[in-house]
Structure 1
Amino acid sequence: MRADLLPSPHSQEIPAPQAGIVSETARSWAVGMLMAMLPGPARLAEQVLFAAAARAGRTETEVAQAMVTGSRGAPVPADIEQALDHAVRASRLPAFESRRSGPALMPTREDAEKALGRFFDARVRLRAAPQNPEARRAVDDAVFTLYVLMAKPSPYSAVNEALQYAA
């Protein structure tokens, strides 16, 4: 990867996270969220998290915590949001796309239909109660399942692919 887009953690010193602010769970969750958005391996997600933290002038822990609280409906600071957006876009450049040597394994149509059903049910629940954190998590879980099943980088493309595949 180009160093100017996604600097490696070894290229500059990273300040140690302050004890008690963010657990390793928040960092793991943030890496998982980035893996779903990219999609890619954990190493790429960690590089994106590092790049976003460096661009925002924050620690990785602060960025991870902002991502976790943002997934629960709290506003994400503008500098972190912009830095994450830039880092994700940089990681999606054609030079960074995965090179598949053959066709991807596809789920069964039944699995795709079940995942779509869970997604649409969760969306109905969220529309009925937009402030309900359980409904929001259900939508997030259903979208993540579609990301993984359909190997697509965005909710829109994952749902479209699943709809076409199940039809």
Structure 2
Amino acid sequence: MSVDVMPPVRSQEEFAPRAVIPSQPAKSWAVGTLMATVPGSAHLAEQVLSAAATRASLSVTEVAKAMVAGSRGTPLPADVLRALDDSVQAARRPNTAPRRSGSYLMPTREDAGRALARFFDARVRLCAAPDDEEARRAVDDAVYTLCVLMAQPTPFAAVNEALQYTNA
């Protein structure tokens, strides 16, 4: 005796994306995204994330989860969006401190161009795979190199200085 057994019918809810996002991968993804957005190091991105969480009166994990949900089509709450925008803009603001007086060596334009290319390549890799630790380290290394080469204290200022210096 044979009985044809039909597989159980699945509801639409079973196919919907899960709302529960583990906190550590969400934070890692958010830091990677902010590294590419600011642009800057992982440390700077964590500071931006922390500042946004403080401005929104939420935990870092809650802001990170909201960012991940936002990347999947769920609109960010207005307070989180405003806090992230303010924090990113604050991190992008160039340092207004006066430049060092005296003489110091400037890199060749070719060296500055190579450092910029390395930074932009690493940034593209990080955007493609935000959880990739190697890509994150590559961005950190490239940013550090630009900061040292251009004698600038912040990644944003170093990238701007290098772009102006190389006329890119």
TM-score norm. by structure 1 comes to: 0.49
Higher Rg: 2
TM-score norm. by structure 2 comes to: 0.49
Higher RCO, Cα 8 Å, sep 6+: 2
